[in-house]
Amino acid sequence: MSITEIESYRLSRRGFLNAAALGAASIAVSACATTGPGPVEPPPPTYVEPPLADYASMYAAVSDGGFDLPAIPVDRIDPQFLRQVVPDPTGQKPGTIVVDTTGHFLYLVRPGGQAIRYGVGLGRAGFEWSGDAVVQWKQKWPKWTPPDEMIARQPELKQYSADNGGMPGGLKNPLGARALYLFQGNVDTLYRLHGSPEWRSIGKSVSSGCVRLMNQDIIDLYDRVPSKSPVIVTSDASQPMAAAATANHKAIPIDAGVPDGSVLLGPVKAVTNAIF
Q: What is the DSSP string of 185-237?
A: TTEEEEEEEEEES-GGGTTSEEESSSEEEEHHHHHHHHHHPPTT-EEEEES-T
Whether pLDDT at 30 is above 50:
no
- Output the pLDDT for position 238: 80
**Coil, strand or helix at 85:** strand
Expressed as residue numbers, the domain containing 92 is: 53-273
Residues 276, 224: contact at Cβ < 8 Å? Answer: yes
Spatial separation of the C-alpha atoms in residues 153 and 106, rounded to whole Å: 29
Whether pLDDT at 129 is above 80:
no
Residues 244, 232: contact at Cβ < 8 Å? Answer: yes
Question: Is 7 domain-assigned?
Answer: no
- Output the pLDDT for position 130: 80
Whether pLDDT at 26 is above 60:
no
| Average of per-residue pLDDT across 262-268 | 39
Question: Is 40 domain-assigned?
Answer: no
Spatial separation of the C-alpha atoms in residues 39 and 62, rounded to whole Å: 52
Active-site annotation, residues: 194, 210
- Output the pLDDT for position 236: 84
- Please give the full DSSP string across the chain, using - where no structure is assigned: --HHHHHHHHHHHHHHHHHHHHHHHHHHHHHHHH-S--PPPPPPPPP-PPPPPPHHHHTS-EEETTEEEPPP-GGGS-GGGS-EEEE-SS-PPTT-EEEETTTTEEEEEETTTEEEEEE-BEEPTT----EEEEEEEEEES--B---HHHHHH-GGGGGGSGGGT-BPSSTT-TTTTEEEEEEETTEEEEEEEEEES-GGGTTSEEESSSEEEEHHHHHHHHHHPPTT-EEEEES-TTSHHHHHHT----PPPSS--SPTT-----SPPPP-S---
Question: Is 223 domain-assigned?
Answer: yes
DSSP-assigned letter for residue 93: P
167 bridge partner residues: 144
Spatial separation of the C-alpha atoms in residues 97 and 115, rounded to whole Å: 9
Mean pLDDT of the chain: 79
Question: Is 11 domain-assigned?
Answer: no
Q: Which residue has the higher pLDDT, 251 or 70?
A: 70
Domain count, the chain: 1
Question: Is 263 domain-assigned?
Answer: yes
Check which CATH number belongs to the domain holding 230 and give it.
Answer: 2.40.440.10
Q: How would residue 149 be classed by pLDDT, with cut points 50, 70 and 90?
A: confident
| Average of per-residue pLDDT across 91-101 | 95
